[in-house]
Amino acid sequence: MRIVLLGAPGSGKGTQAALLVEQLNLPHISTGALLRDAIKRGTQLGMQAKSIIDKGELVPDDIVSGMIEERLGKQDVANGFILDGYPRNVAQAASLDAMLERLGQPVEEAIQIDIDPEQIIKRIAKRAKEEGRSDDTEETVRNRMRVYEEQTAPVVGYYEERGLLTRVLGDGLKEEIFERILSVLNQHSQPA
């Protein structure tokens, strides 16, 4: 199955992606993780990306789309994938469609994890303590939320127009949210 997971920073997207990967045995493709890895390895791309990420801005589309294109070229995506953190604006959504069209493997499900902003602030504060991510400072988080509203929220409409979107309530225990996602996937995989 080819799944795109959508949701604000701190919506639990990454957590749910990891659970789905385990359950469905599909590769997890996260641009955030790929970028953090490039930073850790000290590559030129990583160095370019770090200052942008630390400000809470989006890394340029050609960089992330290039990373995704390379990743989608690998063998293990033949049975599907879980995309997390990409696409993050409408231009990236269009690039993704073009890439997947070339592969003959269009997106099948887009799942939006809905959560209220109050909860997000709390969750990110907690994660900042646990993981020490340099982009989890209060000021950066505020900017990431603004960037999300302006650039990423429209991606939800993009998939809605194409009849691919389902919204899932993102509050409660991670296991409960996971059950909601699985039940959506199950329903959609039933023959009509």
Active-site annotation holds for 71: no
Q: Locate all alpha helices (DSSP H) within the chain, ordered by sequence.
A: 13-24, 31-41, 44-55, 61-72, 90-103, 117-131, 138-147, 153-161, 174-189
Positions 111 through 170 that interact with ligand ADP (CB under 6 A): 135, 144
CA distance 39 to 51: 10
88 as an active site residue: the answer is yes
User: Is 167 an active-site residue?
Assistant: no
Shortest reach from residue 13's CB to ligand ADP, in Å:
6
The least distance separating ligand ADP from the CB of residue 189, rounded to whole angstroms, comes to 27
Residue tagged active-site, from 2, 13, 50, 71: 13
CA distance 69 to 56: 23
Contact call for residue 27 and ligand ADP (CB under 6 A): no
* Residue 59 lies near ligand ADP (rule: CB under 6 A): yes
Q: Which stretch binds ligand ADP (CB under 6 A): 27-35, 72-80, 107-115, 178-186?
A: 27-35
Rounded to an integer, what distance in angstroms lies between the CA atom of residue 165 and that of residue 112? 7
Surface-to-core class of residue 121, CB atoms within 10 Å of its CB (0-12 exposed, 13-18 middle, 19+ buried): middle
Question: With respect to ligand ADP, which residue has the nearer C-beta, 149 or 188?
Answer: 149
5 binds ligand ADP (CB under 6 A): no
Query: Which of 2, 4, 88, 115 touches ligand ADP (CB under 6 A)?
Result: 88
